[in-house]
Chains A and B, each alone.
Chain A
Amino acid sequence: MITLTSVIGNALGDIYSFQMESTTPLLHIEGISTVFSTPEGEVKAVDGLNLVLHKGETLALVGESGSGKSVTCLTIMGLLPSTGRVSEGKIWFEGRDILQVSAKDRRRMCGSDMAMVFQEPMTSLNPLFKVGTQIIEFVRYRRGMTQEAARKRAKELLDMVRIPEANDRLNSYPHELSGGMRQRVMIAMALAGNPKLLIADEPTTALDVTVQAQILELLRDLQKELGMAMLFITHDLGVVAEIADRMCVMYAGQEVENGPVIDVFSRPLMPYTAGLIRSVPTLTGSPASERLYTIPGQGPKPGMVLNGCAFAPRCDWVQESCRNQKVAMEVAGNRSFRCLRAKELAAS
């Protein structure tokens, strides 16, 4: 197998991973809102989101269905459907405002500066074409290689994602591969342009747990070797604990808590985060005789206009002021949170 360093040509990875904090962030999202037009009017899917991602870092975006995490990815990638648009805010990539660049330049950024892996690998691959054809087409389009060079590159990419017998697999159709293998092919395609940022939207959710373990290990290793930053979208707190440096919890389109994974797990500063962590059954956790902790009720419907904190109707810590005033994100050191009672929560 060819080593990654020879594939990339140099060992930029080492340089990347030690550059956190000091320089301009790789990705800086500033007050982004994304709205969708629906028959009932405009619905805000992402509401004033702020995110900073440094080179080589992994940030997990955590939330339940409808929290806006997938829309955030599509917004960054410039892949919003025609009904969606960014209504406010800025997205900086390496100091450049990418919402202002031309459509052509934006397309060029997709794949080379940033690439995305989706949840369902079967629907992301064209069932009518061989895997090799699809990778080769992509590589040639990106890098203007000859057919022969592109085929060699495609094989290298499959080696990189540890697909055995890569030459044979290039001639396989997507349906001939297992779910895990298909996801490896998608990762290989995402890596084809040497992206600086890999956005992975629930990449292991559709996979079995033993295959998930393989893919997580692969992503971790690739990230280390290539020095990519990763924005990892998941609803699984186990996966967060395993793969991310920092996490951002989203609720109803807003970020509600952001901080290093270790700190957020040990001392959440927002009752929603605390509730999520407590409601996950663990193998070694509370005995079966105990009830699971539950967050009562359910999340707000998209488009619902709320006066106060979006989580107030479900919150154990709610007080009158939570219901009638907008709660802003508060920053304390390397943590930020959206809660009026964070101090009391932390002390509890």
Chain B
Amino acid sequence: MSQGKSILQAQNVSVEFKAQGGRVLKAVTNVNLELHRGEVLGLVGESGSGKTTLGRALIRLADLSNGTVHFDGSDISTLRRNDLRAFRRRVQIVFQDPYGSLNPRMNVGAILEEAITLTDSKEAVDARTVELLDLVGLPTESRSRFPHEFSGGQRQRICIARALAVRPEVIIADEPVAALDVSIQAQIVNLLQDLQRDLKLTMLFIAHDLAVVRHISDRIAVMYLGRIMEVGPANQIVFSPAHPYTQALLSAIPVPDPTVKPNRQILEGELPSPIDPPSGCVFRTRCPLADAACAKQIPLLEARSDGRMVACLKA
């Protein structure tokens, strides 16, 4: 897992949506995040934390209201025509729902051909189709079949093959295994891990399941209500979380071992509305450590001596 310098860089990124009554929903607020070349960065958070929106902002599928995203040195908001096309080839996304992201009227061969011809010649389509199907563990005969003939796990393999068709350098995987059964989930996680290693991909793995994220990631970033709470090496985040939210999130995960009686710290309440987020630290309304200072001051994501970054006044 050799890690190079940063390939994708978010600086002070905010994404806002218009909500009813002229109000503004802050999906992502002032996020700074770097994706290093060759690494797997896990992005975790609960629903409404902004992890999907951040993933989309990184590849220009969501408009920024503030901040910049740089890919390989250039600001992606300034890319036009050929440069934008090149960027789209180099960065691909795999979505959560393999049912909704494949055209039901095209067979697998046609789906892949569409992607392959973006980078390769017509003559190469045949060989490349066989190669891609093999890469994701599907039989060659799959090419003449339609999406509905496949199971959820197989459809996700087709989506991965399509993403790989343009030989990307970066894959944004947005909850790629959330819709799959346990036994199939493990197959897809292994596949992504193998592909990442063999093709030297850089991957942003977005998920709510910390156990899966820890398994596949080199580093983990934890989001809450649009902000990054903590970023650091995967084992550090899981075994010695610094931010009280990370701690609570970890302790809430049911342990698949009946002999372990978890020492659980149950958070009160639920995620506040992103339309009207709390002042100061957004987590303070549920935080066991919060005091008056947390309501006044927004904690910055600051580097700690142990190599991680934490946004908390108390921890």
Contacts and interface: CB of A to CB of B under 8 A. Distances in A.
Interface residues of A, number: 47
B106 interface: no
A65 B47 contact: no
Given A209-B253, A213-B264, A64 B181 contact: yes
Contacts of A179: 270
A279 B187 CA distance: 9
B151 interface: yes
Most chain B CB within 10 A, of A210, A266, A279, A299, is at A210
A291 B256 contact: no
Chain B interface, >50% SS class: helix
A276 B258 CA distance: 15
Contacts of A281: 186, 189, 211-212, 214-215
Interface string A259-284: 00110011000000001110111111
B286 to A, nearest CB: 8
B243 interface: no
A235 B181 CA distance: 8
Interface in B239-254: 239, 248-254
Contacts of A282: 211, 255-257
Contacts of B151: 298
Given A276-B183, A281-B211, A298-B153, A288 B216 contact: yes
B183 A275 contact: yes
A266 B212 CA distance: 22
A188 B217 CA distance: 40
B256 A241 contact: yes
Given A210-B248, A217-B266, A279 B258 contact: no
B214 A288 contact: yes
Nearest to A295: B183
Contact of A210 (B153, B257, B267): B267
Given A64-B182, A281-B214, A216 B193 contact: no
Given A209-B253, A279-B185, A280-B256, 6 more contacts: A178-B271, A213-B267, A241-B256, A241-B257, A280-B182, A295-B183
Interface of B: 46-47, 151, 153-154, 181-187, 189-190, 193, 208, 210-212, 214-218, 234, 238-239, 248-260, 262, 264, 266-267, 270-271
Interface of A: 64-65, 178-181, 208-214, 216-217, 235-242, 261-262, 265-266, 275-277, 279-286, 288, 291-296, 298-299
